[in-house]
Structure 1
Amino acid sequence: MDQAQQKNVATGNPIIRHKFTADPTVLVFEDTVYLYTGHDTPADGKEDYVMNNWLCFSSKDLVNWHEHPCPLKATDFSWAKGNAFASKVIEKDNKFYWYAAVSHASIEGMAIGVAVADHPTGPFKDAKGIALISQDMIPPTANKKANLDPTVLIDDDGQAYMLWGNLSCYIAKLTGDMTAVDSAIQTILLPSFQEGAHVHKRDDWYYLCYGYGSPEKIGYAMSRNINGLWKFTGILNEVAENCETNRPAIIDFKGKSYLFYHNGTLKGGGSHRRSVCIDYLFYNRDGTIKPVIMTVKGVEKAG
């Protein structure tokens, strides 16, 4: 286990203030929350995405965050040429699987790789040596960014599913070892789907949240079956301040539910220099989610 470095982050949003962070994915493991983010790097004054690696933070109360050494870079996938875009980390049988969107070095377009570790802070290593998903595997499309933003759910029966996409949302089963596709790739029809998918399950409902429209609000759909039919249910929150994109992550921790997202409110921030935030999330009795109000105050210590 690595030696964590504590960062005393000021209470409120954004929760990480010494670096630009984006596209949160969040894992709860052994009473600790692990936050994995993209890392926006200023591009010499140009407005563009420069993202070469991911970051990892942990917290036991959602207020005090510890930064860990960089757990994964885009080029840790030997077949990738760069671009550390949105990702998803999930645990199965005490192993940790990191699904990440990167640029493929030899097949045109974005691809999805999977890395694995024995501890949530890494070190993570490429689990396959080749892409899990590449442009030649999905339904024919001219969109070279189609393979963005993977999200993974392990269902109650142990079957894992991955959803991902840009402009189109795809779904496929994963093998038991979490490192290969185990079904045909299907398309989920959702209104105004842009990117940033996040899937989770609560009681008997599946929830699929995603970037809705452009600039992106967060919309969500619900289903009794992960294969659909998915019913668009509403807008989870509005466009984030000073930022054209968003990517939700939802967890339950110590009896409460939380929404992680990003905005562009740090000094010097914007759509290409984003910052992760947290606010409370509440469900209605019928399972629908109440719209989340994005706040500067953020959340109080959990527990």
Structure 2
Amino acid sequence: MIKEGNPIIQTHYTADPTVLVHNQTVYLYTGHDDPPEGVDDYHMQDWLCFSSNDLVHWTEHPSPLKATDFQWASGDAYASKVVEYQGRFYWFVSVTHAGGPYKAIGLAVSDNPTGPFKDARGSALVTHDMLPATDNDKANLDPTVLIDEDGRAYLFWGNGQCYFAELNSDLTGLASPITVVDLPGFAEGAHIHKRNGIYYLSYGYGYPEKVAYAMSRNIQGPWEFKGILNEIAGNCATNRPAIIEFKGLDYFFYHNGALPGGGSHRRSVCVDRLFYDDNGAIRRVIMTTEGVQCE
């Protein structure tokens, strides 16, 4: 019997949520933890897509994208971000570049939020050799993108170090040099959003990962560290936040290892309410098994 509440997807192991609101429907895109029996390691080769009108009942759609849909990639479907822009849907992903071991950021595009998505460039958007000097082959992990009110688009990503660049007007290339964002305890799992003129940059903090966040009035920074947004997710060493507003309320998506057989390599996406104080700071999220209730 499948119970309502968290985790919200109980038919698959899911991880690294990215969430899009389109036409009063929430589209949830996740990584897909699928290690073989007896293997306790990352095995992620495609992404999954679900939709909901109430955040309680979810419809699964056919997998809209897999890592090897990028002919220049060898596999590994890591954390990602989907945005809507000028009537199309752009999916920024992290995969392993062919020949490895370096990770790279790719971009796929579709006319429909449920796909199918196709490689928008035929080559990686960000490769290891484009970064400030680093020997971290996982540096190009976990892209997140913000389309600002003026139409300009910005990309944040990284592992062990947070990187930042502006995207060009069609989102298919970089319009600025890659710079480093100085954030305390930055591990990975960046997520950028904006509310009432304030930019919020949340991310996996330390290890095992809590989620911390910083605020700024300017997308270029400086960023003011605000502290811990939520604590370590149960039975799981990693985390990756996603924050949305839907029907006038705010929500926080994350993953844990709560499903039977779950853990750091068999994760599960959850959602809870999120609240801001009068100054715009985020109140601490209390993770629950109940999740969002259908009203």
| Structure 1 length-normalised TM | 0.96
CA distance in 2, matches of 1:200, 1:149: 15
In 2, the alpha carbon distance for the partners of 1:229 and 1:116 equals 32
1:175 matched to 2:186? The reply is no
Query: C-alpha distance in 1, partners of 2:169/2:252?
Result: 29
Q: 2:68 aligns to what SS in structure 1?
A: helix
* Partner-residue secondary structure (3-state), 2:255: strand
Do structure 1's residue 282 and structure 2's residue 265 form an aligned pair? Answer: no
Per mean C-alpha deviation after superposition, the further-off stretch among 71-80 and 45-54 is: 45-54
Instruction: Return the alpha-carbon distance in structure 1 between the equivalents of residues 101 and 15 of structure 2.
Output: 25
Aligned-residue offset at 1:108: 4.4
- The alignment partner of 1:244 has SS state of coil
CA deviation map 1:55-75 (0-9, x unaligned): 000000000100000100000
Match of 2:76 in 1: 83
Q: Which consecutive residues of structure 2, in runs of 5 or more, have no partner in the other structure?
A: none
1:106 positional shift: 3.8
Distance (whole Å) between structure 2 residues aligned to residue 46 and residue 72 of structure 1: 24
Instruction: Write out per-residue CA displacement over residues 104-150 of structure 1, whole angstroms, 9 at most, x where no aligned residue.
Output: 00464000000000000001000000000010111110000000000
1:96 aligns with 2:101: no
Q: What is the 5 A alignment of 1:28-39?
A: 28-39=21-32
Amino acid across the alignment from 2:57: N
Among 251, 261, 272, the alignment partner of 2:254 is 261
3-state DSSP class of the match of 2:129?
helix
Report the Cα distance in structure 1 between the residues aligned to 2:107 and 2:101, rounded to whole angstroms.
Answer: 18
CA RMSD of aligned residues (A): 1.0
The two structures have a TM-score, normalised by structure 2, of 0.98
Displacement after TM superposition at 1:10 (Å): 3.0
1:156 shift after superposition: 1.1
SS at match of 1:75: helix
Distance 1:49 1:41 in 2: 8
1:32-56 Cα distance to aligned partner (Å, 9 max, x none): 0000000001233122100000000
Question: Structure 1 residues 230-239 or 35-44, which shifts more?
Answer: 35-44
CA distance in 2, matches of 1:47, 1:229: 40
CA distance in 2, matches of 1:73, 1:163: 22
Paired residue for 1:52, among 45, 51, 68?
45
CA contact (8 A) 1:9 1:63 kept: no
- Asked if structure 2 preserves the Cα contact closer than 8 Å seen for 1:79 and 1:106, the reply is no
**Matched-pair contact (CA < 8 Å) for 1:264–1:274:** yes
CA contact (8 A) 1:9 1:16 kept: no
SS of the residue corresponding to residue 195 of structure 1 reads strand
Equivalent residue letter for 1:82: G
Q: Aligned equivalents of 2:238 and 2:101: distance in 1?
A: 24
User: Quick one: which of 101, 110, 127 aligns to 1:134?
Assistant: 127
Deviations 1:155-183 (A, max 9, x none): 11110000000000000010111111110
Which amino acid in 2 is paired with 1:182? A
Count of equivalent residues = 295
Give the counterpart of 1:112 among 101, 105, 117: 105
Counterpart residue number, 1:64:
57
Aligned partner of residue 89 in structure 2, secondary structure: strand
What is the CA distance between 1:11 and its match in structure 2? Answer: 1.4
Q: Please state whether the residue corresponding to 1:178 is helix, strand or coil.
A: coil
Equivalent in the alignment of 1:186? 179
1:9 is displaced (CA, Å) by 5.8
Equivalent residue number for residue 226 of structure 1: 219
